[in-house]
Amino acid sequence: MQKYLGNGEKWGVNIVYLHQTSPLGLAHAVKISKKQLGNEDFVMVLGDNFFAVDLKDMIDHHKKNSNRVTVALKEVEDPQ
């Protein structure tokens, strides 16, 4: 992914990569990103998830409602 996306310049964004020294979960990944994130809004999308949500609409909804966190979920018959 890092090789493909590079630093994000191609899409007009700045991508910073942080690596966990141990697999301590998603919350830990956000925690170690605190210095880079500051008080800025950010979007976390898991690379192994496929979803049918309009990301722009979701972000607009998040901002309109002054949410601290917005999560997109989809109920499935068998989550395995």
Distance CA(45)–CA(53), nearest Å, equals 12
The 8 Å CB, 24+ separation contacts for 58-62 are: none
pTM: 0.57
Distance CA(66)–CA(8), nearest Å, equals 27
Half-sphere exposure of 20 (CA within 13 A, CB side): 11
pLDDT score of 9: 93
pLDDT level of residue 37 (50, 70, 90 thresholds): confident
Q: How do residues 41-79 score in pLDDT, each as one tens digit? A: 888 877 777 677 888 898 899 999 988 888 888 788 888
Distance CA(58)–CA(65), nearest Å, equals 11
Question: pLDDT at residue 24 above 90?
Answer: yes
